[in-house]
Amino acid sequence: MIDRKHLIAAGLFTACAFVATLPGFGMGTAAIAAEQGDLQAQGMAALKVFWTAIVAGTAKALDPVLAPEYQVERADGSGMDRAAYLKSELPKVAALPEFTSVNVTGTGDLLVVRYYVTVNSTRKGKVVQRHAPRLTVFRKQGDSWLVVVHANFATLEK
């Protein structure tokens, strides 16, 4: 017969075993730091691929980096899905921008990157706010990170 002490011990063991399987639990501080550093590096690499395609400024360059479910949302409340974005008048960006205050989180096949961009850009002939926050979500497919969502908080000159 199982007594109360054994039931409690079995319950605690089961709970600890479950928690140890969660991301970040059961790892030492060095392992967590390495995982976070790897996320940061992956996020920066994914950003550079995405923004290099934006700088190229063609649907052909953007097509392979956008996920089928891609959406963009802008500060003015406008947004587009992938098909509409690729057919639209794409932004004109002079060069790969400077990324600052980059914060990357993620798990498994998802990366969420929050950052500021300093960029020289126009959209539909209007100058885009030079320094503004962005939020980009990536989904891993094979060896590539595809852009699922891009939120652009930059305003246009009036």
Does any domain span residue 157?
no
Does any domain span residue 136?
yes
**CATH number (domain holding residue 38):** 3.10.450.50
Does any domain span residue 134?
yes
Residue 47 in tokens: 């950003």
Does any domain span residue 25?
yes
Can you give the residue range of the structural domain that contains 55? 4-152
- Distance, CA of 106 to CA of 1 (rounded, Å): 46
106-137 confidence digits (pLDDT tens): 999 999 999 999 988 888 888 888 899 999 99
In sequence order, the 6+-apart residues with CB closer than 8 A to the CB of 84 are: none
Q: pLDDT higher for 143 or 36?
A: 143
Does any domain span residue 9?
yes
Mean pLDDT taken over the chain? 84
66-119 confidence digits (pLDDT tens): 999 999 999 999 999 999 999 999 999 999 999 999 999 999 999 999 999 998
Does any domain span residue 158?
no
Does any domain span residue 135?
yes
Does any domain span residue 80?
yes
Dump strand ranges (E) for the chain.
Answer: 66-74, 79-81, 92-93, 98-107, 110-118, 121-123, 126-127, 131-141, 144-152
Domains: count for the chain: 1
Among residues 73, 95, 79, the alpha carbon closest in space to that of 150 is found at 73
